[in-house]
C-alpha cells in the first residue's frame, strides 16, 4: 500500500499526503521541545537564593532608574537604518533579473537610486545624523 500512496502523491501536487512529512516534523519538534523543558524542570537544581533572584546586568551593578528619557537621536538613527536597509533589499530582485529587465529595468533602478539618494541628502541636510548635544 505504501508505493500506491507515493504514486498517488506524485500525480496530485495539491494532495494532503504531500504535507505529511511536514506535519510529522512539526509534531516531533513540539514533542521534543516539551520533553526537554519538562526534563530540565524535573532534573535541574531548585535552589533559589537571594543572589539568584536578583536582577543581573552583565555583571555591572544596577545604578539609577531605568526609566530615564533617552535622546531622540538614538531612535532616529534606528528608524533611518531600518528605512534604508529595507530600501536596499529592493536591489536584490533587480540583481537577479537584470538581464531580463533590460534597459527599462536599468532606468527604473537609476530612478530608484535617485530617489534613494535624494532622501539620504535630505536627511544629511536636516542634520539627522549630527550628534552634537
CB of 109 within 8 A of CB of 94?
A: yes
CB of 87 within 8 A of CB of 69?
A: no
* CA separation for the pair 57, 64 (Å, rounded): 13
Calculate mean pLDDT across residues 7-25. 76
- DSSP conformation letters of 34-71: HHHHHHHHHHS-----HHHHS--STTSPP-S-TT----
Q: Is the pLDDT of residue 7 over 70?
A: no
- Domain extent listing, the chain: 1-68, 70-133
What's the whole-number average pLDDT of the chain? 81
- Residues 80-113: pLDDT tens digits? 888 888 888 888 888 888 888 889 989 998 998 8
- Residues 37-48: pLDDT tens digits? 999 999 988 888
Q: What angle (nearest 5°) sits at the alpha carbon of residue 130, between those of residues 129 and 131?
A: 115
- Structure confidence at residue 129 (pLDDT): 77
CATH number 1.20.1080.10 given to 70-133: no
Amino acid at each position: 500500500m505504501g508505493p500506491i500512496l507515493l504514486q498517488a502523491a506524485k500525480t496530485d501536487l495539491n494532495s494532503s499526503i504531500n504535507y505529511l512529512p511536514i506535519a510529522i516534523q512539526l509534531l516531533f519538534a513540539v514533542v521534543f521541545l516539551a520533553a526537554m523543558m519538562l526534563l530540565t524542570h524535573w532534573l535541574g537544581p531548585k535552589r533559589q537564593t537571594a543572589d539568584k533572584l536578583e536582577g543581573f546586568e552583565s555583571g555591572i551593578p544596577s545604578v539609577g532608574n531605568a526609566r530615564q528619557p533617552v535622546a531622540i537621536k538614538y531612535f532616529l538613527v534606528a528608524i533611518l537604518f531600518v528605512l534604508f536597509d529595507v530600501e536596499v533589499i529592493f536591489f536584490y530582485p533587480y540583481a537577479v533579473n537584470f538581464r531580463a529587465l533590460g534597459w527599462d529595468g536599468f532606468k527604473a533602478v537609476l530612478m530608484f537610486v535617485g530617489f534613494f539618494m535624494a532622501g539620504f541628502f535630505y536627511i544629511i541636510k536636516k542634520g539627522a545624523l549630527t550628534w552634537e548635544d
